[in-house]
Chains A and B, each alone.
Chain A
Amino acid sequence: MRVRWNKILPATIAGLMLLAILAACTPAATTAPEPTTAPPAAADTALPPEVDPMADLVAAAQAEGMLTTIALPHDWCNYGEVIEGFKAKYGIEVNELNPDAGSGDEIEAIKANQGNMGPQAPDVIDVGFAFGPSSQAEGLIQPYKVATWDSIPDEVKDPDGYWYGDYYGVLSFMVNKDVVTGENPQDWADLLKPEYAGVGLSGDPRVSNQAIQSVYAATLANGGSLDDAQAGLDFFAELNAAGNLVPAISNNALVASGETPIRITWDYNALAGADGMAGNPPVEVVIPATGRFGGVYIQAISAYAPHPNAAKLWMEYLYSDEGQLLWMKGYCHPIREGDMRARGVVPQELLDKLPDVTGAVFPTLDQLTAAAALITENWDAVVGADIKAAP
């Protein structure tokens, strides 16, 4: 009888593959620990002498053994090092969900995972400013006041402790010097000039916090005020009409490839991106002369957190000087910056690296909401492709 290779070979390979799957699937399916081994942050500078109240919390958190975070990309505000530092200091595993989630995703994740004690339920969230009060109203977060609560400015925290600002940044222009060989644009109005063609937003203003703040920021430079974002919309309409605006979502790859040599993004993203490109291409970060716009993000603990003590310990860590300095290393302005500068605990090298953002304005929640409504409703008409004229 002829050896039926065309039957045996496939069957053998299929069988081997099946064995490989079964062997590899089950034991290896625990969440892989982070491979990078960044050393923990520099020696504790400002742990208060009364360590004891923390000891209970630390013990309870370690008993829980795990923290689930969401939407924390490692290159954003140096979260990579922050997470490593936390793990190294307390020995608690950090389970990172969905680094690309938007604030809306994080809220939906809490809602969907109510009652789920598994690893899909986030313990802590880091969301845009407007989402604090709304998630509080929906009962999705629980209050907690960290040890350093008093040094957090009042305008960016909830008096009852439900949510609290964590860091802020200022909108900047990230400029590819290979393409923009002459002078950098110094302000929003410069972007209209022909030599600065190729401006890209970092998102869709109807979806992304960063993008909508960009439009809002242009308002200030275009003669508007924080109460009425119409001037910002007009500016972008002008930019689009001049042919300087590239509709694609800009990211570092598009900056490097030259399609959007000028990208409007938070200063910490621009600086981290410039570092990442390491001179290829050379990138400069410009904070606009007028229209300096500050954006605050906030932290909160989920009301349905499967590991509430680990979550609280995480907050303590983030708001300790150690945690705040790690954020600063990622070019973010930590929320307790004023307090830390006054106490002189910020190393000079870090101070030197941060751009000068004096004069940055921070809109209130009401102003943000009103601006968001205006911009999202009118963005299409102002900037969108004219679909009716298409063939």
Chain B
Amino acid sequence: MKKRTNFWGWFWVLLAMVYFLVPLVGTLEFSLEMLRGIRSFAAYQAVFDDPQFAETFLFSNQMALLTIIASLALFVPTAYWVHLRVPRWRPVVEFITLMPFVIPAIVLVFGMIKIYKNPVVIGPVMLLQAPTNSVLGTNALLVAGYVVLAMPYMYRAVDTGLRAMDVRTLTEAAQSLGAGWFTIIVRVILPNLRAALLSGALLTFAIVVGELTLANFLDRPAFGPYLWLLGQHRAYEPAALSIISFGLTWAALGMIYLVSRGRGGQAQVAGAR
């Protein structure tokens, strides 16, 4: 393999790191100033002493994982189908996936409450009890809301990943070997989408953990509201919390990344190497 000069590579990366790290260092430095005149972790101690911190962070992490699973299950087959069979529908689908940007989250949550505070009925048949009255139902609504919020990112990630591979050839090859749709998606398409799915999952995770509006109005003990509330009245703890949540989320994403990369290296193209 030809060795290319790394100069420009390092240049952009270092430039980016300066831009990204300087504000973080500023926040970090401020968070260490809680006790007068000395640098200390007092603000961090205060945050960790609060049991609500662990509770809400854990809850949001759980919701994030559920959202990722639900999003993958919904968007991978959809994007695949659009690429393969119904490219005419692409503008419609893309328009829908971009809608969450312009529909304020608060409209979404109030709309959901208005609809789902009643039992789900078809005619005289009740399918479901009112979702808002049960914890499980409300959690499901929350996950659904999160899937909607993450939709633009997750769909775009999957779509970009599909463009980078030859979907039609792979599908036809698999079909000629006798694979059914499920096998094709799970054993042929998904492995090739690994890098893209990872990006989507990382984005989704970060969105859910920091999300504020849905959790507030659906009354779920999530991390976003906790973060906000602390920021309203305290001076140093919010800075500490920013750094902590940044670090913890980074660690969680790192774990997801390492777990899914397996042996590391590039996404495989079936048969090519």
Contact = CB atoms under 8 A, between A and B. Distances in A.
Chain A–chain B contact at Cβ < 8 A:
yes
Interface of A: 5-7, 9-10, 13-14, 17, 20-21, 24-26, 29-32, 35, 68, 73-76, 95, 97-101, 105, 108-109, 111-113, 115-120, 251-253, 255-257, 269, 272-273, 276-277, 279-281
B35 A73 contact: no
25 contacts: A5-B263, A9-B262, A20-B62, A25-B62, A25-B139, A73-B229, A73-B233, A97-B216, A99-B225, A100-B228, A100-B232, A108-B106, A108-B110, A112-B110, A116-B113, A116-B132, A118-B117, A118-B133, A120-B218, A252-B235, A253-B231, A269-B233, A273-B233, A276-B235, A281-B36
Interface of B: 30, 33-36, 50-52, 55, 58, 62, 65-66, 106, 110, 113-114, 117-118, 130, 132-136, 138-139, 216-219, 221, 225, 228-229, 231-236, 238-239, 259-260, 262-263
Contacts of A118: 117, 130, 132-134, 138
A118 B219 CA distance: 10
A105 B216 CA distance: 11
Nearest to A281: B36
A24 B51 contact: no
In this complex, the member of A29, A73, A117, A251 whose beta carbon has the largest number of chain B beta carbons within 10 angstroms is A29
Nearest to A6: B262
Contacts of A76: 233
A13 B259 contact: yes
B132 A120 contact: yes
- When A and B form their complex, which 9 residue pairs have the shortest distance between CB atoms, in order from nearest? A6-B262, A116-B117, A75-B233, A256-B235, A280-B36, A98-B216, A118-B132, A112-B110, A118-B133
B62 A24 contact: yes
A252 B234 contact: yes
A94 B262 CA distance: 47
B205 to A, nearest CB: 12
A297 B97 CA distance: 42
Contact of B232 (A7, A112, A251, A257): A251
Given A73-B233, A113-B113, A118-B117, 11 more contacts: A35-B50, A73-B232, A75-B233, A99-B229, A109-B217, A111-B110, A112-B110, A120-B132, A280-B33, A280-B34, A280-B35
A7 B259 CA distance: 10
The B contact surface, by secondary structure, is helix
Contacts of A24: 58, 62
A347 B168 CA distance: 81
A97 B229 contact: no
A33 to B, nearest CB: 10
A30 B218 CA distance: 13
In this complex, the member of A32, A68, A279 whose beta carbon has the largest number of chain B beta carbons within 10 angstroms is A32
A24 to B, nearest CB: 6
Given A13-B259, A280-B34, A31 B233 contact: no
Given A10-B260, A17-B65, A112-B113, A119 B219 contact: yes
A113 B262 CA distance: 47
B235 A113 contact: no
B229 A253 contact: no
Nearest to A269: B233
Contact of A31 (B113, B221, B232, B236): B221
Nearest to B130: A118
A58 B32 CA distance: 47
Contacts of B132: 116, 118, 120
Contacts of A98: 216-217, 219, 225
A101 B217 CA distance: 9
Contacts of A6: 262-263
Nearest to B131: A118
Contact of A32 (B118, B218, B221): B221
Contacts of B135: 26, 29-30
Contacts of A100: 216, 225, 228-229, 232
Nearest to A99: B229
B49 to A, nearest CB: 10
A343 B167 CA distance: 83
Contacts of B139: 25, 29
Nearest to B137: A118
A257 B233 contact: no
A76 B234 CA distance: 12
Contacts of B113: 112-113, 116, 120
A9 B235 contact: no
B52 to A, nearest CB: 6
B262 A7 contact: yes
A97 B216 CA distance: 6
Contact of B259 (A9, A112, A256, A276): A9
A68 to B, nearest CB: 8
A32 B52 contact: yes
Contacts of B260: 10
Contacts of A20: 62
A276 B35 CA distance: 12
A10 B262 contact: yes
A272 B235 CA distance: 12
A95 B110 contact: no
Contact of B235 (A17, A97, A117, A253): A253
B247 to A, nearest CB: 19
B235 A277 contact: yes
A253 B238 contact: yes
A95 B219 contact: yes
A337 B133 CA distance: 40
A251 B229 CA distance: 12
Nearest to A20: B62
A299 B148 CA distance: 35
B234 A276 contact: yes
Contacts of B133: 116-118
B225 A21 contact: no
A208 to B, nearest CB: 12
Given A26-B136, A73-B232, A113 B65 contact: no
Contacts of B225: 98-100
